[in-house]
Structure formats: C-alpha cells, structure tokens
Structure 1
Amino acid sequence: MALMFPRLARNFARNGYYPTDEITLERILQTLAPTASGRMRICDPCAGEGVALAETAHALGRDLVEACAVEYDRGRAAHARTLLDRVLHSDLFDTMISRQSFGLLWLNPPYGDLVGDHSGASQYQGSGRRRLEKAFYQRCLPLLQYGGILVFIVPHYVLDDELCGWLCNHFTELRIYAAADPTFKQVVIFGIRVRRQDLARPRDVAQVRERLQAIGAGQELAEVLPESWPWEPYAVLSVSSDMEHFYQLTLEPEQFAGEIHRLGGLWPDFILHFGQSGVQPRPPVRELSRWHLALALAAGAISGVVTSRSGRVLALKGDTYKDKVRKTEFTEDEDGNVSEVRILTDRFIPIIRAWEMTPGSPNHGRVLTISSSPTPNDEPSAPLPASEPHRERPQPLFFPGQIVMTAAVNHLVETGQFNPASILKRHLEGDWGNLSDDDWNLNQRALTHGDRLFSSYDVDTGDESTIWIITESDRSVTTLLLPSDY
C-alpha cells in the first residue's frame, strides 16, 4: 500500500499488491480524527512499504500514535521499518497478535481467490466465494477494539452476500465510497466495530446491506470519495490495554541465523547444558507422592532395562491412567428435606509393568504389574448397580454468554420442528459436528486463544437440514442460525 501517483500505480500491482494512490489516501485521512486524550495504536496487516500507515499516524499526531504493521515481502517490510514503530516481516496467518489491541485497522488486503495450499485457506470460514480479502478480514477483525475504526479497501466485486453480511453484523456507521483512482475498481468502506446487540435497528441494517450488495453486483455505482468530508470524522480510540503479543510464530532461515548471531550461538556454554549428562542421578529427598509418580510415569522417566545386584534383568514400562473416585454427600435444608449429591473426582493411578528378561530364568517373559489400584485399568471391574450410574457428564468447555437464535430458527422451535438443546450441548462440550479437519482444529485452537467458535449440525426439520451455532470471540453471545441467515 505504498503512496503512489495513479500513473505509476498500475506498474506496481503485482503478487496481489495494490498500492493506495495519493489522492485516495489524502481524502481518507480527512475522515479520521484523534482521540481526545491518551495514546492511540493503529495497525496495517498488509502494510506494503508502510507509507499509508505512516501518513495516517502523522495525521493523527505522530507522537501520540504507535503504528504497527505486518508485511510479507522482505523489501517492502524493510522500508516500512524506517517509517513505523513495529513491523513484522511475516505472513499474517503466521503471527500472534493480541486481540482488541488497535483503535484503527487499515485493511487493504491482497486481492485474489484462495487456492488449496494457501496458508490462509484453513483460516477461512464461510460458504461464499473463497477470496483472500475475506480470509484477511476474518483474521484481522478480532484485532480491532470495540468502538475502533475500520478502513477497508477492496475491489467492489468482492462485496458478495456473505461479506456484506459480515460487515453489517460487525460494524455500524457504515459508509462506502469509490476510490479516487478507478484503476483497480476499489471502494473504501468505513465503519465502527460494535457488538451485535448494539447494532442499529434491523430495518436500517437491511438497507445498508442491500446497498453494499448492489454496489458489489455492479447494479449501483458508489459515490467517489469526496474532497471534503461532509460527515463528522471517525474518532480513533485510545489504547485500552497493553499489547502482550506481537510476533511471528515461525522463523525464516535468515531470521534464525540472526538470532543465533545475536545470542552468540545456540548454547553460549556447551558444558553448562551437556556436562552433567554422565553424572549419576541422586535419589529424591523424600518419597514421591502419587501425583509426582504419575507425572514421572507419563513422561517416560520410569522406563527402560534395569539389572539388580543379584543379576536379575527386568524391562520396565511405566504408565498412568485416570480413574474416578465416587463420593456421596447428603445435605438437609431448613424444612428437613434431605438431598443426595454424587461427586466424581479424578484420581491418577500409576502402574508399572516389568518383563522378566533374566537369561535362564524359569519365569522368562513373565509380566509383573505394580499398581496402587486393586483393579488396574486393563482389568474389568464389576458393573455398578443401575441405580448408581458411574458415567460423569461432560462439562462445558466454555461459557456461551447470551444464547440467541434467528427468527427462522425460532420459528422451527415454536412450531415443534426442532429442539436446540441437544446440538447446543454438543457445541458447549466441543463436538463441532460436520466440519472439516482444518475447521475442527481451528475451533480447538480458538478454545485456547479466544477466537470465534463455529459448529455445523445435521438436523431433520423438513425443509432445513443444517443448523449452525456461532459463539463470538469474546464469549458474549452464542447464536443459532440457518446457513441462509448468515
């Protein structure tokens, strides 16, 4: 997104890199205003040479702005480092960046269709046309603060029904204009990120969505970005928290070599790390508890061939498994009613197996088992009475927040065609339904990193056969919807 004259911009459109022309940039800057107090943090995840973000920082007040960027091309990233505060030379999908860290997101992503081996393909969630612009939008949305400003520069034909729906669900005060230079058929979209419950009235949202769709389909032309902004400027929020993460996950060979050079080698002192390998380990100062023994067994620390002083040879294999300890408690209320509560608690059971390997021993090959449990995991135990079920109900993996459903799903529930309880339970327990392996793994990572969770289930409701469940990244809302509602 380098700042360029229109007559030169065409010559530099390569590898999905479409720089922002000078006139468009100047008119965009008129739409932005700095916060009343405090420092601001802005981000360009596809920064190019960094000129557009640098100009934005100067317009907002350079001393009050921390400008952060990501750029895939080495040469452009090196140039951006001379203008901005923090620049990652990396693929955006190979970065770790703290959520809701920026008050302004300048997003002019690469243009083009996703291919099967593209690094961002597994990050795309949707049923529409698989485009780079949409994958970058999904990746970058969580980085923007609620109340933060989006400047989204894309070709108008990318605005299909799916992308228009995302924009209308995530942003308010949406405005769309054509770029000053028509070379790349770009439109500039402005918006303020809000939570779904804070969106405008459904009728107003529907009107905005229809206009975006009409412009995307070429049925309506967007007004050219005005020379003088007629509306109240978009105010960039101040920083709400420290940015804990802003780094690349994997290192390129050159970066790895630079780190080795900076550290003086992988290990400054070889003896420090390997000098103790031949020293006889000392016994522990106290007896290992079951917990410590279980950890040692699970880590493989108690495995191998041992020889006793008498010459006996045993091949040891340590392991551990988890058992349930049942506990029943009785409570009595003020009226004298007694209630029974059954509690199942995890207990780690260490187990060691030893194969007799002493040459000439009559017990050669015999397996000895040492366990703290009278009934090891591989031995069948007596079934519990039917009145005392021994299965523990799976616990929810996350808090769903407010559970809502679209009007179409609500109609199915009210008419008795569908009961959402079973699939909602599966969603909360981490059974994501009919998803690909990539999307399933993406949900598993989202449980750790706090990203959006998505499930898809087959249901039998007559006309509809699929129900989606989406839990927002901040876990504030869980929505049940039909694919046609998205």
Structure 2
Amino acid sequence: MALMFPRLARNFARNGYYPTDEITLERSLQALIPSTTGRMRIFDPCAGEGVAIAEAAHALGRDQVDALAVEYDQQRAEHARTLLDRVLHSDLMDTMISRQSFGLLWLNPPYGDLVADHSGASQYQGNGRRRLEKLFYQRSLPLLQYGGVLVLIVPHYVLDDELSGWLCNHFTDLRIYAAADPTFKQVVIFGVRVRRQDLARPREVTQVRDRLQAIGTGQEVAEELPATWPWEPYAVVPTTNELEHFYRITLEPEQFSAEIQRLKGLWPDFTLHFGQAGIQPRPPVKELSRWHLALALAAGAIAGVVTSRSGRVLVLKGDTYKDKVRKTEFTEDEDGNVSEVRILTDRFVPIIRAWEMTSSSPNFGRVLTISSSTSAYDISAGDETRLWIITEADRSVTTVLLPEDY
C-alpha cells in the first residue's frame, strides 16, 4: 500500500505531516519478525492515517497482533480507525497510556523546534536543543517494554549529542540507515530496549554514540536502507503487561458529544430520581422518636398537604430550631461550702407550621404552629403522643390532635 506520492511530499511537509515513503516502509519491515509464541501489541504515537503501523501488523501476522495508535489530526485519526484496533484522536502529551505495554514502538514524530506554547513543553527534560522529535521520544520511551523493538524515523540533523546519548543509554543492537527517499533527510534507527546494567561494554557504546553524532552533524553519511536485510531480524516480543490505561485525558467537543451519546447520562435512571410524586410513601415501622422527627422535619420530609380520616386538611411545612435546657446543680463539700453549677445543654426542637385549609374550621386560613413540646409528651395518655396546635396570635391552645386522627 503506497503511503505517499513523491510529488506530494513537500505539500505534506508544509502541513507538518511527514509520512513514511513506501520503499522505506517495505525495507524497514524486512528487519522485523514475529515472536515465536504469544500475542504481540504494537504502537504508533504519531500514526497519521495509520498505514505504516497497519503494514507492520500485517507483516508480523495480523491475527497475532493488536495495533494501537495516537493521531492528532481528526481526519487522519478517523482513517486510521478503519485499519487499526484502537486509535486515540489526541495529542500524545494529552494521553494516559500504561507503561511497558508494547513490544514494538514505531515512532515517526513531528519535526521541528519545540515552541513554548506547545502542550508538552513543560514535560521536556533536557539541556540540548529543544526539538519535537526529542520530546516525543521522551514521552514514548516508557511505553515500550524491555526487550521491545524501536523503529525511529527522524531527520539526521536531529541526532545531536543529547539524543545520541539517550539512544545509547536505552537501546542495544542499534543500527542506523538513510531512508530510501531523501526528501526529508530521514534516517531509520533500529534498536532493542534494555536496562542500563544490560548494555554493552562502555567502549562499544561510545563507538555507536560517536557514529550517531557524526551522522547528525553531516561528517558521515548513513548508508541507504538495504533492499534485503543482511542482519538477523529484530524479533518483536509478546506483551507481558496488561494495557490498563489507554485513553485521552481531555475531550474535544465532538468526542464529548460522542461520549454523552454512548453513556446517555442520567436519562436511563430518570424514573429512579424523578416522577415519584404519585407514589404513596410507606409508613414507618415504629413510631418516630423526637430525634427521628427532628431529622424528618429538617430534611423537609414532613411537608405538603395532609388530609385526616375526619376530613381535616392542613398544609404542612416542617422545621427545627435549637434551644438550650438549663440545669442547676448544688454540691456541698466537707466544710459545708455550697457551690452552684449551671449546665446549658443544646437540644433541637421540631416545629411544624400548618396552614388551616378546612373550610368548616373556625381557624380557616390561619397559620398555626404544631409543636411537640415537652409538656405535650408528659401529659400523653398511655402510649399515645398528643400534638398541640397553638395559634400564632395569642399562643393559646386551640386543638389537640390525637394519633387516631392522622
């Protein structure tokens, strides 16, 4: 599958898009072989239309490979979704991806100097020239598992002392070749990620680093990627870690709309939270204590229109207020001295405001206060609790409601 027509290469470059040419891709894939056993997972953090990583998946055996990618451009991301297993439309710096989850990292990052307002500028760690290629390398490296294969495609002049040192500190079996199409002055670098203690001898590492720097400065020209791979191919190892995280941190408006359509918000539970007015509440298991009554009043559970069996209609609104109970204690010591201790204890008193709406009542239209006072409980007959209705005008008792009325 052709990735790019040569006559369109410069137009792509003007838009910041540098796809790998077809010949370079075909020759690079010759350097890769699948692992003997196990399922592989490969990743392209700057996938473009997804053709390069899709071709890599087919070369390794499509049935045994999970191909994932990230692409910043929306149209290219949509095209990549038709070829790959999972694609994020996002900037790589705005993603959350599990570390050491991929056996192959195909990295052809955007080219250019890193500007201060780039989303990942604060994530860059280095003292050399601040380049996008180096930023994407830093962000992508932790995603490759140890023993995984790197295919890095960058302009040769990016290989300064800093990037060359990073490559030599993180990879072994490094090989560098010039791309078949010289339009973008690209080089293709192969390597296997290893731990620092597993690197080759310091002298060999220094020789590789010096060669990379020489190619970067133009003192040495990398030989062209061979049409037939002359060395032992790089084996893409099976994945050992689960991909727990693979998502974008922030959402574009289109993505947010798609998530809303997928999750439906709270609409599936609408009847659970609303439309309950017509349902008759069940009575409590036992008579409410003062504490339970106060909580029900404060929560507004005791409110609305109440009609008794006798036909009396009240509009109720519950409330509570805090009062203090004064208690005085006298103690006498051995010498006969008497001391007085005054104790103030907070208590919550429930109050129900009632609007009398019984047409035959002499208090029709008046606002009443239903108070469960201490004296009301004290004079209750047996286990029956009486609620006193007290008028707002003179605070005189006008009616006593018995439990059998409500």
**TM-score, normalised via structure 1 length:** 0.56
The correspondence for 1:308, drawn from 315, 318, 322, is: 322
Amino acid at match of 1:215: I
Q: Secondary structure at the match of 1:38?
A: coil
Shift of 1:16: 2.3
Shift of 1:307: 4.8
Q: Secondary structure at the match of 2:268?
A: coil
Give distance in 2, aligned partners of 1:57 and 1:284: 68
| Residues 37/218 of structure 1: CA separation in 2 closer, same or farther (3 Å cut) | same
| 1:224 corresponding residue in structure 2 | 224
Give distance in 2, aligned partners of 1:15 and 1:120: 20
For structure 1, which segment, 14-23 or 62-71, has the greater mean C-alpha deviation from structure 2 after superposition? Answer: 14-23
| 1:60 corresponding residue in structure 2 | 60
Is 1:97 the equivalent of 2:100? no
Give distance in 2, aligned partners of 1:188 and 1:217: 16
| Residues 28/269 of structure 1: CA separation in 2 closer, same or farther (3 Å cut) | same
Within 5 Å, which residues of 2 pair with 1:222-261?
222-261=222-261
| RMSD of aligned Cα (Å) | 2.5
Give distance in 2, aligned partners of 1:171 and 1:63: 28
* Cα distance per residue 1:259-281 (max 9 Å; x no partner): 112223455335645899xxxxx
* Cα distance per residue 1:171-219 (max 9 Å; x no partner): 0000000000000000000000000000000000000000000000011
| 2:73 corresponding residue in structure 1 | 73
| Residues 273/63 of structure 1: CA separation in 2 closer, same or farther (3 Å cut) | same
Is 1:131 the equivalent of 2:131? yes
Within 5 Å, which residues of 2 pair with 1:271-350?
272=272, 307-310=321-324
| 1:143 corresponding residue in structure 2 | 143
* Cα distance per residue 1:390-435 (max 9 Å; x no partner): xxxxxxxxxxxxxxxxxxxxxxxxxxxxxxxxxxxxxxxxxxxxxx
CA contact (8 A) 1:177 1:225 kept: yes
Is 1:18 the equivalent of 2:32? no
Shift of 1:239: 1.4
Shift of 1:254: 1.0
Give distance in 2, aligned partners of 1:307 and 1:154: 74
Is 1:177 the equivalent of 2:205? no
Give distance in 2, aligned partners of 1:11 and 1:217: 27
Higher relative contact order at CA 8 Å, sep ≥6: structure 1 or structure 2? 2
Structure 1: 5+ residue stretches without partners = 277-281, 286-305, 313-486
For structure 1, which segment, 86-95 or 1-10, has the greater mean C-alpha deviation from structure 2 after superposition? Answer: 1-10
CA contact (8 A) 1:180 1:224 kept: yes
Q: Secondary structure at the match of 1:268?
A: helix
Give distance in 2, aligned partners of 1:223 and 1:13: 24
Give distance in 1, aligned partners of 2:122 and 2:3: 32
Give distance in 2, aligned partners of 1:244 and 1:2: 34
How many residues are matched? 288
Shift of 1:10: 2.4
Within 5 Å, which residues of 2 pair with 1:380-419?
none
* Cα distance per residue 1:273-306 (max 9 Å; x no partner): 5899xxxxx9999xxxxxxxxxxxxxxxxxxxx9
| 2:395 corresponding residue in structure 1 | none
Give distance in 2, aligned partners of 1:3 and 1:135: 25
Give distance in 2, aligned partners of 1:66 and 1:209: 33
Shift of 1:251: 1.1
Is 1:39 the equivalent of 2:53? no
For structure 1, which segment, 204-213 or 266-275, has the greater mean C-alpha deviation from structure 2 after superposition? Answer: 266-275
Amino acid at match of 2:191: G
Give distance in 2, aligned partners of 1:58 and 1:89: 23
Give distance in 2, aligned partners of 1:103 and 1:284: 64
Q: Secondary structure at the match of 2:151?
A: strand
Is 1:166 the equivalent of 2:180? no
* Cα distance per residue 1:433-463 (max 9 Å; x no partner): xxxxxxxxxxxxxxxxxxxxxxxxxxxxxxx
* Cα distance per residue 1:230-265 (max 9 Å; x no partner): 100000001112211111111111111111122234
Shift of 1:39: 0.8
| Residues 308/208 of structure 1: CA separation in 2 closer, same or farther (3 Å cut) | same
Q: Secondary structure at the match of 2:323?
A: coil
CA contact (8 A) 1:93 1:120 kept: yes
Q: Secondary structure at the match of 2:173?
A: strand
Amino acid at match of 1:68: L
| Residues 269/214 of structure 1: CA separation in 2 closer, same or farther (3 Å cut) | same
Give distance in 2, aligned partners of 1:284 and 1:167: 71
CA contact (8 A) 1:3 1:21 kept: yes
Taking only the aligned residue pairs, the percentage that are identical comes to 80
Amino acid at match of 1:46: C
Give distance in 2, aligned partners of 1:140 and 1:283: 64
Structure ID, larger Rg: 2
Give distance in 1, aligned partners of 2:92 and 2:214: 31
Shift of 1:111: 0.4
**TM-score, normalised via structure 2 length:** 0.67
Shift of 1:38: 1.0
| Residues 125/273 of structure 1: CA separation in 2 closer, same or farther (3 Å cut) | farther
Superposed structure 1 runs of 4+ greater than 4 Å apart: 270-276, 282-285
| Residues 256/211 of structure 1: CA separation in 2 closer, same or farther (3 Å cut) | same
Q: Secondary structure at the match of 1:308?
A: strand
Give distance in 2, aligned partners of 1:114 and 1:131: 5
Give distance in 2, aligned partners of 1:115 and 1:34: 39
Amino acid at match of 1:308: K
* Cα distance per residue 1:310-364 (max 9 Å; x no partner): 599xxxxxxxxxxxxxxxxxxxxxxxxxxxxxxxxxxxxxxxxxxxxxxxxxxxx
Give distance in 1, aligned partners of 2:121 and 2:325: 60
| Residues 201/309 of structure 1: CA separation in 2 closer, same or farther (3 Å cut) | same
| 2:286 corresponding residue in structure 1 | none
